[in-house]
Structure 1
Amino acid sequence: MWAEEDFPLPRGVARLVELQPEDNTCYVMFHGTTRQAAQQIQAKGFRQSEDGMLGRGVYLSRDLDKARRYPLDILENQRVVIRVIVNVGRVKTIRYQAGMQKTWHDYGYDTAWVPANCGMVRSGLEENCVWDPKRITVQAIIKPKTQQPFYQGTW
């Protein structure tokens, strides 16, 4: 459980669920990045990546644990997470590396979703790729921190 997960949800926005994102629903999602990149995103908005596992788009997750791991190539203390609200539009589920993995948008989908534990993502955590950055509204830049476990007993 992350300390940041206890914020109030805006009206009409859903929190992480185990099921596939429903078409035309707004969700709280997270994007891991550097502080400098987060400030640029906050000022100018998201831009599509040139490529990735799901092709072009903005990579997000409804799972804060997934987002806090990025970028992979920098130290954890240099990472931040951007909390956003996303209207996913029409969602395509991608469970394996083939088929519409990188062409989903050509078929009228707005978001590609990789389910947790389907074998495509090493971490086993879900991933989303949103084609149009205008579907994403930045809410806050957060520094993920784990909640301190409650210790009962003697030292």
Structure 2
Amino acid sequence: MKIEVTFDSLDEVRKFTEIVMVGQATAQPSNTQAPVQPAPAVHNTAVPVQAAPVQTVPAQTVSAQAVPVQTAPVQTVPVQTTPVQTAVPTSTVAYTMDDLARAGMTLMDCGKQAELQKLLKEGFGVDALPQLPKEQYGAFATALRGMGAQI
């Protein structure tokens, strides 16, 4: 779609910008012009049309001072920043021998007794759970979880 607007005077430019900027679609036309009629509705029908000769009208330049420009005031909003936390706080879970034994029993009930004995012997260097040092309880609990135990 192409729309061309031609102005004959600076007064017409001002009235046009008022209509566009303020949104007064029903602004009164100047006394020297005929009222603007709405364009007829366009329907999508194929009708052969002969080209009419095109008449060009010289463009009229308008200085930047003639067209008022309104700008909205700029508001600044203070932004609060929060420090970035780099480490996630964790808590140390203290496992007891009973916790580890219960988890081991559930694995043995599932038929994983041989795997459990292999884990104790090769992974932690002990033959039985009571021989496991307390410092190894957390690592052993993690290994039990890896085998499917709920602890």
TM-score (norm 1): 0.19
- Which has the larger helix fraction? 2
Higher strand residue share: 1
TM-score (norm 2): 0.19
